[in-house]
A and B are shown apart, each in its own frame.
Chain A
Amino acid sequence: MSALTGTPALARLALRRDRISLPLWTLVTALVPIGFVSTYEGLYPTAADRLEYARTSGTNPTFLALYGPLYDSGVGGIVAQRAATIPVVLALVTALTVIRHTRVEEEAGRRELLGATVLGRGAALAAALGVTAAASVVAGGVLAAGLVAQGLPAAGSVAFGAQLIAAGLVFAAVAALAAQLTESAAAARGLAIGAVGAAYVVRLAADAGGADSGLSWLGWLSPFGWVQRARPYGDERWWVFALAAAAFAALAWGAAELSARRDLGAGVLPPRLGPATAGRTLRGAFGLAWRLQSRASYGWVAGFAALGLVYGGVVGGVRDLVRDNPELEKVFTRLGGTHGIEDAFFASTMTTLGLIAAAQAVSAALRARAEEAAGRVEPLLATRVGRVRWAAGHLAFAALGPAVSLAVAGVAMGLVHDAGSVPRLTGAALAQLPAVWVVAGAAVALFGLAPRLAAAAWAVVGAAVLITLFGAVLGFAQPVLDVSPFTHVPKLPARPVEWTPLAWLTGAAAVLTAAGLAGLRRRDLDTG
């Protein structure tokens, strides 16, 4: 019996369990960039239009930071630049899928049940990597085929598809390694998401100052930097993919070695004994929620601080860039001088931060549902704790966690940019809160009224991201754009504050939350 015996059976099990989510994500990551092609053909119909884009928007620091360099002024080049966040999405999908089929299964004890059958020690890892690798290849293949079908050059389209495959594979292997290190699935998930985030931030810092900035070498430290430097549609560098393949092989080999040496259920980092009695803070529903959520909140806040520092630093590059480019200076002057473009950059950054904060809010709110589904709430509600008070402990993190995160990001951004701008930027970041709360309110409403569908709150986040970041590009109608609460947030600091939409959003969030809590009070507890 080899270490891989049983891998096909486990791979089929994984495909069966993910039969909806995996194909969905795979197709979304492939189809969104394909949809971009006709949009940009419409926006920039002639070569002259596209050259203008390349000279102005395509090389402005916002776009450089968010999307990376533009390597070609054809439609393909523009699509490849503007879809540069898509490999990041696929990387998150493959990383979370690998952990779901390795460490989560082990922690839940289901692996033990299977491990007693004819199953090799490395089968679970191989099956998880195999399934995610296949999903990445399908996503990349569909993307390349779709782009060629739209009339884009074949070589560039294949390179674009390969970007997707490389990002998916490398971070699947990163997650495989993370899953070997810790006993807890949550910690492994944190490591993997942290790695994706770090790679994104490093790439962002490398590209923000343009190709000639002193930091562009940083791009070679991030897998997202590598894939971008393959330059689809612009004199492709194929050898970059060998770098990704080598990283995948090394990480997967490391994970397999660790998996072969460790005990089932154990991590490489050893567990320690804890206190025999509860500390003073562990009392009441809030104390417990604090204990369960505070660590994740620290992680979010640290992430926001890092993003704030990077974004704040990036904007400083604007002036240098303008000095070298008279064409760009004209555009900026039209927008109200470099000050105007800086504020425009900050405004679009705030939206991105708001969307990430919405993810934080949903993850905190859904913790309550996870506790219920795991059966850990029953003994709590059999004490003096009422349902609403119990839920409120977790919802406090959904409401206030993003507030802290956004404030920290705003302060960090201001400190790096210009200390005098701290209050202005912190205010602009906090202006996202009402929209964040609407998304959190949707999660609470689902949790209270349709608990089994609570995970659909992530679809709400996904829809907000799609509409807010890509809606205008994909040509969605205004009523569709209006569905996203972020559409209604005033674009601070570039525009003045408008209190009315913020009040409406806060009201909507309150109504959704109240409906959810009313539902929670009335419904049966889900006892499995």
Chain B
Amino acid sequence: MTTPIAVSGLVKTFGRTRALDGLDLEVRAGEVHGFLGPNGAGKSTTIRVLLGLLRKDSGTATLLGGDPWRDGTELHRRVAYVPGDVTLWPNLTGGEVVDLLGRLRGGLDPARRDGLYERFALDPRKKGRAYSKGNRQKVGLVAALASDAELLIFDEPTSGLDPLMEEVFQDCVREERERGRTVLLSSHVLSEVEALCDRVTIVRDGRTVESGTLTELRHLTRTSLDAELAAPPDGIADLPAVHDAHVDGTRLRCQVDTAELGDVLARLTAIGVRTLASRPPTLEELFLRHYGTAEAAR
């Protein structure tokens, strides 16, 4: 089975702006892949190159084994896409748009479509101009989720959805994964990516800065520890693997390089541990670390 999405060294410029500057992205079959980055990092541009809407300047980008610029139309039979800001025809109803996109893609399942209307609490009889932003987004989501496409591409799909609907969306994505579909989920809602994604690619300024499973990424970062010890933790704060240490009598709170966690724990056990709480880094911390260093580097 081919890799659904393989991008390497992708470059795209708009006039003087270098929107993509050697970006890499690999999405494997059957996974939910998180595509993370701040606004303007190049997520939407990458997706548009992958859909053949924009033409790459250099690098390679393959979609379902084909060239999106050359064979896009044929490949699109197997892809469903929801843009970050769904715009509808003012005089077409939501239901008409869902059916139209389904037919253009080669068919959709009416029973599943009606089920999705119900789950997303969407009235398909309203005209495009009457929908709120969240409801327009739902029209796009229903059209994509009711399709039989093997690859689903979502560009910040939950913007404008309320938390209840975000929950519905997450359930739907999990079901799609179980049915064996591949999902590329571009987002900056970290909790959503953390809840859904098997692997994550983080981009900044048109480049990939990190890619891997969440576990792998966490390994590269720090774990926070909060420990109550038998004696004051002398010398621990000075270890190179320990950061941001706060010592309050016998209580220690600090960040530890995850790779060195074993050694540090051995030192603490030697002192004597009464209570210990450890927490893996949240994606948010991962994210901020990358963008924090970017700020510092400037």
Give residues in A with beta carbon < 8 Å to B: 107, 183-184, 186, 271, 273-279, 282-285, 287-288, 291-292, 374-376, 378-386, 522-525, 527
Interface of chain B, main secondary structure = mixed
CB of B79 closer than 8 Å to a CB of A: yes
7 closest A-B pairs by CB: A278-B99, A274-B93, A383-B104, A382-B81, A276-B95, A386-B73, A525-B53
Known: A274-B96, A375-B83, A384-B106. A527 touches B48 (CB 8 A): yes
Known: A378-B83, A385-B73, A525-B54. A276 touches B125 (CB 8 A): yes
CB of B88 closer than 8 Å to a CB of A: yes
Which of B54, B80, B87 neighbours the largest number of chain A CB atoms within 10 Å of its CB?
A: B87
CB proximity of A76 to chain B, nearest CB, Å: 48
CB proximity of A446 to chain B, nearest CB, Å: 20
Give residues in B with beta carbon < 8 Å to A: 44, 48, 51-55, 72-74, 76-77, 79-83, 85-93, 95-96, 98-101, 103-106, 110, 123-127, 129-130, 140, 143, 153
CB proximity of A90 to chain B, nearest CB, Å: 29
A376 touches B52 (CB 8 A): no
**A374 to B129 CA separation, bound complex (whole angstroms):** 13
A379 touches B86 (CB 8 A): yes
**A107 to B129 CA separation, bound complex (whole angstroms):** 8
List chain A residues, Cβ under 8 A from B86.
379
A381 touches B52 (CB 8 A): yes
**A278 to B91 CA separation, bound complex (whole angstroms):** 13
B53 touches A378 (CB 8 A): yes
Known: A274-B126, A376-B89, A527-B48. A384 touches B96 (CB 8 A): no
**A384 to B99 CA separation, bound complex (whole angstroms):** 14
CB proximity of B70 to chain A, nearest CB, Å: 11
List chain A residues, Cβ under 8 A from B124.
276-277
A277 touches B53 (CB 8 A): no
List chain A residues, Cβ under 8 A from B81.
378-379, 382
**A288 to B100 CA separation, bound complex (whole angstroms):** 8
**A375 to B101 CA separation, bound complex (whole angstroms):** 15
List chain B residues, Cβ under 8 A from A279.
96
Known: A282-B100, A384-B106. A379 touches B140 (CB 8 A): yes
**A183 to B131 CA separation, bound complex (whole angstroms):** 13
Q: A274-B126, A382-B79 are in contact. List 13 more A-B contacts (CB 8 A).
A: A273-B93, A275-B96, A277-B95, A277-B96, A292-B91, A375-B85, A376-B87, A378-B48, A381-B53, A382-B53, A382-B81, A383-B104, A384-B74
**A285 to B100 CA separation, bound complex (whole angstroms):** 9
8 A-B pairs in the complex with CB atoms less than 8 angstroms apart:
A107-B90, A273-B93, A288-B100, A374-B87, A376-B88, A381-B53, A383-B104, A524-B55
Known: A183-B129, A375-B83. A384 touches B95 (CB 8 A): no
CB proximity of A281 to chain B, nearest CB, Å: 11
Known: A374-B87, A375-B85. A380 touches B104 (CB 8 A): yes
CB proximity of A499 to chain B, nearest CB, Å: 39
List chain A residues, Cβ under 8 A from B55.
522-524
Quick one: which of B73, B99, B130 contacts A271, CB cutoff 8 A?
B130
**A183 to B88 CA separation, bound complex (whole angstroms):** 15
B104 touches A274 (CB 8 A): no
List chain A residues, Cβ under 8 A from B88.
376
List chain A residues, Cβ under 8 A from B106.
384
B96 touches A271 (CB 8 A): no
A525 touches B95 (CB 8 A): no
Which of A107, A378, A522, A524 neighbours the largest number of chain B CB atoms within 10 Å of its CB?
A: A378
List chain B residues, Cβ under 8 A from A287.
100
B125 touches A527 (CB 8 A): no
**A210 to B124 CA separation, bound complex (whole angstroms):** 57
List chain B residues, Cβ under 8 A from A378.
48, 51, 53, 81, 83
Known: A376-B87, A378-B53. A385 touches B126 (CB 8 A): no
List chain B residues, Cβ under 8 A from A283.
100, 103-104
**A65 to B56 CA separation, bound complex (whole angstroms):** 58
**A383 to B77 CA separation, bound complex (whole angstroms):** 6
List chain B residues, Cβ under 8 A from A527.
44, 48, 53-54
**A186 to B129 CA separation, bound complex (whole angstroms):** 12
For B110, the closest partner residue in chain A by CB is A277
B77 touches A384 (CB 8 A): yes
Known: A274-B125, A282-B99, A378-B53. A383 touches B105 (CB 8 A): yes
**A388 to B53 CA separation, bound complex (whole angstroms):** 13
For A523, the closest partner residue in chain B by CB is B55
List chain A residues, Cβ under 8 A from B98.
278
**A176 to B240 CA separation, bound complex (whole angstroms):** 73
A184 touches B90 (CB 8 A): yes
List chain A residues, Cβ under 8 A from B90.
107, 184, 186
**A271 to B44 CA separation, bound complex (whole angstroms):** 34
Quick one: which of B52, B79, B125 contacts A273, CB cutoff 8 A?
B125
CB proximity of B104 to chain A, nearest CB, Å: 4
List chain B residues, Cβ under 8 A from A275.
93, 95-96, 125
For A380, the closest partner residue in chain B by CB is B104
CB proximity of B174 to chain A, nearest CB, Å: 23
**A382 to B79 CA separation, bound complex (whole angstroms):** 8
B91 touches A385 (CB 8 A): no
B92 touches A384 (CB 8 A): no
List chain B residues, Cβ under 8 A from A385.
73, 76, 104
CB proximity of B16 to chain A, nearest CB, Å: 15
B103 touches A277 (CB 8 A): no
B96 touches A278 (CB 8 A): yes
List chain A residues, Cβ under 8 A from B104.
283-285, 380, 383-385
Which of A283, A285, A380, A384 neighbours the largest number of chain B CB atoms within 10 Å of its CB?
A: A384
List chain A residues, Cβ under 8 A from B87.
374-376
CB proximity of B51 to chain A, nearest CB, Å: 5
List chain A residues, Cβ under 8 A from B72.
381, 386
Which of B98, B127, B143 neighbours the largest number of chain A CB atoms within 10 Å of its CB?
A: B127
List chain A residues, Cβ under 8 A from B53.
378, 381-382, 524-525, 527
A282 touches B96 (CB 8 A): yes
Quick one: which of B91, B101, B103, B130 contacts A379, CB cutoff 8 A?
B101
CB proximity of B69 to chain A, nearest CB, Å: 10
**A283 to B104 CA separation, bound complex (whole angstroms):** 7
Known: A276-B95, A277-B95. A284 touches B129 (CB 8 A): no
List chain A residues, Cβ under 8 A from B76.
381-385
**A183 to B153 CA separation, bound complex (whole angstroms):** 33
List chain A residues, Cβ under 8 A from B91.
184, 291-292
**A273 to B77 CA separation, bound complex (whole angstroms):** 31
For A385, the closest partner residue in chain B by CB is B104
List chain B residues, Cβ under 8 A from A379.
81-83, 86, 101, 140, 143
List chain A residues, Cβ under 8 A from B83.
375, 378-379
**A176 to B52 CA separation, bound complex (whole angstroms):** 43
Known: A375-B85, A379-B140, A384-B77. A274 touches B105 (CB 8 A): no
**A379 to B89 CA separation, bound complex (whole angstroms):** 12
A278 touches B103 (CB 8 A): yes
For A283, the closest partner residue in chain B by CB is B103
B93 touches A276 (CB 8 A): yes
CB proximity of A455 to chain B, nearest CB, Å: 19
List chain A residues, Cβ under 8 A from B79.
382
**A385 to B102 CA separation, bound complex (whole angstroms):** 12
**A405 to B110 CA separation, bound complex (whole angstroms):** 39
B130 touches A291 (CB 8 A): no
B100 touches A382 (CB 8 A): no
List chain B residues, Cβ under 8 A from A276.
93, 95, 124-125
